């Protein structure tokens, strides 16, 4: 995959070093992002001064549940740093019943074969395992779309972008909302395209439609209707939208981890065949994480090379460097999910137990699938606490990222 670099000119405005926030997907795991950002708001607030109270990102890019976080922040951006506190408050009170519904009998947990047959019948009947209509009501309640437009018009924000993957064409689409007088050039690459559209709840439902778990959502592109699923699928270059929209520096928060619990060591997942739940969790982890690390590393390498060039030579290049700071969990979210699995709604718990998707004590990786569905306060607050811990551990890097000299001196 060729690296994505930024055009030499900034088509979206005169800002010296516009900062972008890229939020990756991961279902309930994305509560971790709320913790990182809440800590970031505290760090910036302690710096004092009016400038450090403003909303620090001009470009917001989100995928899957990360798109929900990005759009929530866009609707609160005019409140400055308080937007991050609002996001943390939202996650702290969230429950699975506000995201999805699942009705299965209690006996389903007693037989994996029966569980697989019953759940497969349900998938065939409604084209998904879960009913996510509660999420529609939740998003309408907490996100004001009109306030997004206001933040764009008053230039608190430069752009909001949400990604989704088309089941109809296989193309990965980025939907961009910008003020009419600041629109950047759209892009079209093999397998991925962009289009200007006001972001709606339908875009968020499409971007967060976890494969097999949530139903596809129809959207209009190029004048016709296509059906979309989770934006993490076929996402070959997660940083690309931020780069194309003019970012000079990018903070990206993922929710994966380099080595997942249960796929190393001497647990049952190594010595015996993995359960269906363990396979599903591994597949989900691949969807949500694999391309991010490679994209970040490529962008950092190119930027470092350009920063080391003499200015005269760098000025002749058709690209400019983009500095990237990436943050991801320092601990296993699989193990964390396993510790909180008992908080799941009874029907979800029974279904996952029937599929062997809650893991054994010696194999927390088997609980990976549960970690995407655990929208419950105990797990959410543990994720947010981990996010705050990881952000404070990288305090100096975060504060340097927002230093005016960062984009000129190099970072990431």
> Beta strands 217-221 and 6-7: pairing type?
unpaired
Strand, coil or helix: 131 = strand
Asked if residues 248 and 323 have their Cβ atoms less than 8 Å apart, the reply is yes
Task: From 357, 383, 345, 288, select the one nearest 98 (Cα to Cα).
Answer: 345
Q: How far is residue 329's CA from residue 331's CA, in Å, rounded to a whole number?
A: 5
Task: At 372, list the tokens.
Answer: 């995407």
Asked if residues 364 and 261 have their Cβ atoms less than 8 Å apart, the reply is yes
Q: Which of 41, 64, 240, 363 is catalytic?
A: 64
**149 belongs to the catalytic site:** no
User: What letter would DSSP give residue 185?
Assistant: P
Task: From 22, 36, 25, select the one nearest 255 (Cα to Cα).
Answer: 25
CA 133, 135, 138, 142 torsion-angle sign:
negative
Asked if residues 17 and 406 have their Cβ atoms less than 8 Å apart, the reply is yes
Task: At 380, list the tokens.
Answer: 């959410």
Task: At 148, list the tokens.
Answer: 């997004």
Q: How far is residue 73's CA from residue 92's CA, in Å, rounded to a whole number?
A: 15
Q: How far is residue 160's CA from residue 60's CA, in Å, rounded to a whole number?
A: 5
**111 belongs to the catalytic site:** no
Q: Which of 41, 149, 165, 230 is catalytic?
A: 230
Asked if residues 93 and 375 have their Cβ atoms less than 8 Å apart, the reply is no
Please report the beta strands in 254-347, taking only residues with DSSP state E, as ranges in sequence order. 319-320, 323-327
- Contacts for 319 with CB less than 8 Å, ≥ 6 apart: 5, 6, 7, 8, 302, 306
As annotated, the active-site residues are 64, 230
């Amino acid at each position: 995959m060729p690296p994505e670099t930024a055009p030499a000119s900034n088509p979206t405005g005169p800002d010296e070093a516009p900062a972008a926030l890229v939020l990756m997907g991961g279902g309930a795991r994305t509560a971790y992002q709320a913790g990182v950002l809440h800590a970031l708001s505290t760090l910036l607030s302690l710096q004092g001064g009016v400038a450090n109270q403003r909303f620090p990102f001009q470009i917001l890019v989100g995928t899957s549940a990360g798109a929900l976080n990005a759009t929530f922040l866009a609707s609160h951006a005019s409140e400055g740093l308080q937007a991050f506190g609002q996001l943390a408050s939202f996650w702290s009170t969230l429950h699975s019943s506000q995201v999805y519904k699942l009705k299965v009998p209690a006996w389903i947990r007693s037989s994996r074969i029966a569980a697989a047959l019953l759940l497969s019948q349900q998938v065939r009947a409604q084209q998904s395992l879960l009913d996510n209509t509660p999420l529609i009501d939740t998003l309408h309640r907490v996100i004001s779309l009109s306030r997004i437009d206001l933040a764009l018009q008053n230039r608190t924000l430069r752009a909001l972008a949400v990604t989704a993957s088309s089941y109809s064409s296989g193309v990965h689409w980025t939907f961009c909302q910008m003020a009419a007088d600041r629109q950047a050039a759209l892009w079209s690459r093999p397998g991925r395209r962009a289009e200007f559209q006001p972001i709606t709840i339908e875009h968020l439902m499409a971007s967060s439609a976890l494969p097999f778990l949530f139903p596809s959502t129809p959207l209009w592109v190029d004048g016709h209707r296509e059906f979309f699923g989770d934006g993490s699928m076929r996402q070959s270059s997660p940083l690309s939208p931020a780069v194309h929209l003019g970012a000079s520096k990018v903070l990206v928060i993922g929710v994966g981890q380099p080595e997942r619990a249960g796929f190393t060591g001497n647990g049952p997942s190594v010595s015996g065949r993995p359960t269906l739940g363990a396979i599903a969790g591994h597949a989900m982890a691949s969807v949500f994480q694999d391309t991010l690390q490679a994209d970040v590393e490529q962008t950092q390498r190119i930027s470092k090379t350009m920063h080391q060039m003499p200015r005269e030579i760098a000025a002749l290049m058709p690209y400019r460097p983009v500095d990237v700071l990436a943050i991801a969990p320092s601990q296993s979210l699989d193990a964390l999910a396993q510790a909180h699995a008992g908080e799941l709604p009874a029907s979800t718990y029974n279904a996952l137990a029937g599929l062997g998707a809650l893991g054994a004590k010696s194999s927390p990786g088997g609980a990976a699938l549960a970690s995407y569905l655990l929208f419950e306060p105990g797990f959410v607050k543990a994720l947010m606490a981990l996010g705050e811990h990881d952000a404070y551990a990288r305090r100096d890097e975060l504060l340097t990222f927002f230093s005016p000299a960062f984009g000129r001196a190099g970072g990431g």
